Amino acid sequence: MTEALRQFLSGGAAARGGGPLYLRLRRSIESAVEAGVLGPGDALPSERDLADLADVSRVTVRKAVRDLVAHGLLKRRQGSGTFVALPVERVEQSLSVLTSFTEDMARRGLAVRSEFFDRGLYEPTSEETMTLGLSAGEKVARIGRLRMANGNPLAIERASLSGRMLPHPEELDGSLYEALDKVGARPVRAIQRISAALLDDSDAARLGVSSGAPSLVIERISYLASGKVVEFTRSRYRADAYDFVAELRLAESHL
């Protein structure tokens, strides 16, 4: 195996076109994975061995590997090694009709679990006061949870609500909307904003991906029938595991 790799590294890294060494090495490793010389889950040689094989310094190896880890091709485990990433089964979520996370996953035969890392009443930020239309002195209820499907962390959700809607957030256990339903504050409409950003270190750790991995950023504002804002949620979905799907009618559009 190391012999086949040598073709891609020592021969490959030097020969493969021009450019900086770390880029040539990066392409060499990519080629080795694409060619199947390294399969999913396989361990790469240690960074020190790679440095020897490719005849570059370890710093250069780390630069090449870092890029490939960021793009999701490789995974590093401290003290253990560097491995070709396992293919991730991606999960889809519809954007036209908002179905529940739990229902969505159940329909796909996935076991869902939530892990709360934050449930409590807090002094609101100015953003929360404005978005939720809080009155002076009113507290804000915050719910932070890690969403998992089949044991894999998929998303981080941080919801903010008026403390009046949810006076005991620490008792929340299952569905937030169910709890809202009980106090007659079930939203009927939501506006969702989708963007992308790199995960910060703590969110990356929670989601079990490398620091600096990309994520889908979802901000949702939910409204009551009266038009009043009930809930403001900011979520982070693992970009390597999640797709949002929308169906569009092309009315008078000229693209």
Q: Does residue 70 bind its own copies (CB under 8 A)?
A: yes
Sole binder of its own copies in the list 36, 87, 167, 212 (CB under 8 A): 212
Q: Does residue 31 bind its own copies (CB under 8 A)?
A: no
Q: Does residue 254 bind its own copies (CB under 8 A)?
A: yes
Q: Does residue 242 bind its own copies (CB under 8 A)?
A: yes
State in angstroms the smallest separation of the CB of 172 from DNA. 32
Q: Does residue 178 bind its own copies (CB under 8 A)?
A: yes
Give the footprint of DNA on this chain (CB under 7 A). Answer: 20-23, 44, 46-49, 55-60, 62-63, 76-82
Q: CB of 159 within 8 A of CB of 222?
A: no
Quote the Cα angle for 86-241-30, to 5°.
40
Sole binder of its own copies in the list 168, 189, 202, 228 (CB under 8 A): 189
Distance CA 27, CA 160 (A): 45
What lies within 8 Å, CB to CB, of 219 at 6+ separation is 192, 193, 195, 232, 233, 234, 235
Nearer to DNA, 63 or 139 (CB): 63
Report DSSP state, residue 10: I
Beta-bridged to residue 217, according to DSSP, are: 195, 236
Q: Does residue 88 bind its own copies (CB under 8 A)?
A: no
Q: Does residue 34 bind its own copies (CB under 8 A)?
A: no
Dihedral pair phi/psi, residue 147, rounded to 5°: -95, 130
Nearer to DNA, 64 or 166 (CB): 64
Task: Name the pairing type of β-strands 140-149 and 112-122.
Answer: antiparallel
Coil, strand or helix: which one is 143?
Answer: strand
Nearer to DNA, 19 or 133 (CB): 19
Distance CA 177, CA 249 (A): 29
Q: Does residue 107 bind its own copies (CB under 8 A)?
A: no
* Contacting positions for its own copies (CB under 8 A): 59, 67, 70-71, 90, 92, 95-103, 175-178, 186-198, 200, 212, 214-216, 222, 239, 242-251, 253-255
